[in-house]
Amino acid sequence: MKSKNTLLRIPGYAALIAFAGLSGCDKNDHGGGPQQKDANVYAIALVAGTGSAQTTYIQGLAGFDTASLGNGNATELAGNGRLITYNGAAYVSVYNSPATMTKYTFDQSGKAVKTGELVVPGAKTYSTVAFVSPTEAYASVAGGLAKLIKFNPTTMERSGEIDLAAILRPEAPVMYYLGMKARDGKLFMGVFYEGAGFVEKYNDTAYVAVIDLATARLEKLIKDHRTGSVFDAYNAFSMDKNGDIYVAGLGYTNRPSGILRIKKGATDFDPTWFLDLDAATGYKCRGLSLFDNGLAFTLALVNPADAYELNGPAHQFFRIDLAQKTSAGKLPVLPDVYGSNGAVIRSYDNDQLLFAVSGRSENSIYSYQLANGAVNKKLSLTGGRCSGFDKLP
């Protein structure tokens, strides 16, 4: 099962990395094929511009069977935003202050209709959102606030908060809560510590907070030294059909990037199971997108000399067999991509996956055929890089 709950992940100096790695497009590119009918089946967000001069464009679509997609039918939002979907609506957070998450539905022409918003003063953006039901969801916020926001995703009303002060550390005054997955009345949330001057702390350990939803209390902080920090630049949390949760760690100088498991019914890391991604792929990796039958994908840093991607894209998609703990190598055809922008992979038409790609000279969507693993370019994104897309119903 794939994870699609992350809205925006820009802790500290990583913001500079993400901004430097953007593939800018003309903000006025309003082309991209004929207007679709019944364009309220999928939602997509495209981001154009660079640095602080970025604009997010959101629109509804009937599908992705077109040669190109521009911003002619899109709604324009100032800033760098990300989009996720739940229960027929899109939720968009743009990096700004105060943190604001806006809910949209789409009419049959694909035009966005604002239906609500959630504002958290004192924070600049939402890091991650976990939807539990149409009336219960949780959002973490960037900016060092030691709390988790509870809200109703239908009405967009704030309904409570969970105090996280117990896991604060004086030498790491800023925490980022990056990646979440709800299961069995518990919420599992990645924790990333940062010291003064954007200095990362405790990178040689993966930390996950376990929260009891019935009592709205922090239950414990679990940790594992087999991999490094949980930093959700690209899907740190996935769950399979058995209910087992997989957590991706970035690794560090003395730790491999890797995948940890929290088995169904458990609230601790499984000490008997670990996937060393460095060993499986030959590279440091970030994130995991998990689909049926153990099929998974990660982003491998194939140019470690430019890990911050100041000179161009430095990552490639690698295919992983989670059950066998092996890698089938990098996906063919796909170009090098900006891993600092994150990645979006979604199921499409039951027989293929779609990869949103931000490369040196293109922003595109590629298809992966589940039957034979064939990879082909599906459409060009002339309106900017994709920062989120998924089915709405």
Rounded mean pLDDT of 68-97?
Answer: 94
- Count of C-beta atoms within a 10 Å radius of residue 203: 18
Q: How far apart are CA 289 and CA 238, in angstroms?
A: 7
Q: What is the pLDDT of residues 251-302, one digit of tens each?
A: 887 899 999 999 999 999 999 999 999 999 999 999 999 999 999 999 999 9
Contact (Cβ atoms closer than 8 angstroms) between residue 118 and residue 133: no
Contact (Cβ atoms closer than 8 angstroms) between residue 284 and residue 305: no
CA distances from 94 to 77, 182, 211 (A): 8, 24, 27
Dig out the tokens for 347 from the structure: 């199921």
Q: Of 293, 302, 298, which Cα lies nearest the Cα of 277?
A: 298
Beta-bridge partner residues of 379: 365
Q: How far apart are CA 177 and CA 209, in angstroms?
A: 9
Q: What is the pLDDT of residues 310-353, one digit of tens each?
A: 999 999 999 999 999 999 999 999 999 998 766 799 999 999 99
The alpha carbon of 9 is separated from its chain's Cα centroid by a whole number of angstroms, namely 8
What lies within 8 Å, CB to CB, of 315 at 6+ separation is 286, 299, 300, 301, 302, 309, 336, 337, 338, 339
Beta-bridge partner residues of 316: 300
Contact (Cβ atoms closer than 8 angstroms) between residue 22 and residue 341: yes
* Parallel/antiparallel/unpaired status of strands 375-381 and 68-69: parallel
Q: How far apart are CA 20 and CA 314, in angstroms?
A: 13
Phi, psi at 196, each rounded to 5°: -60, 145
DSSP summary character for residue 142: E
Beta-bridge partner residues of 6: 128
Contact (Cβ atoms closer than 8 angstroms) between residue 288 and residue 248: yes
Q: How far apart are CA 20 and CA 50, in angstroms?
A: 7
Contact (Cβ atoms closer than 8 angstroms) between residue 142 and residue 125: yes
Q: How confident is the model at residue 199, as a pLDDT?
A: 67
Q: How far apart are CA 19 and CA 124, in angstroms?
A: 16
11, pLDDT greater than 70: no
Q: The pTM is what?
A: 0.90
Domains and CATH numbers, the chain: 14-391 (2.130.10.10)
Q: How confident is the model at residue 366, as a pLDDT?
A: 97
Residue tagged 């709950």 (tokens): 5
Q: What angle do CA 46, 81, 35 make, to 5 degrees?
A: 30
Residue 243's pLDDT band (boundaries 50, 70, 90)? very high
Give the strand order in the sheet containing 147-152. Answer: 125-133, 136-142, 147-152, 157-163
Dig out the tokens for 218 from the structure: 């922090």
Q: How confident is the model at residue 19, as a pLDDT?
A: 32
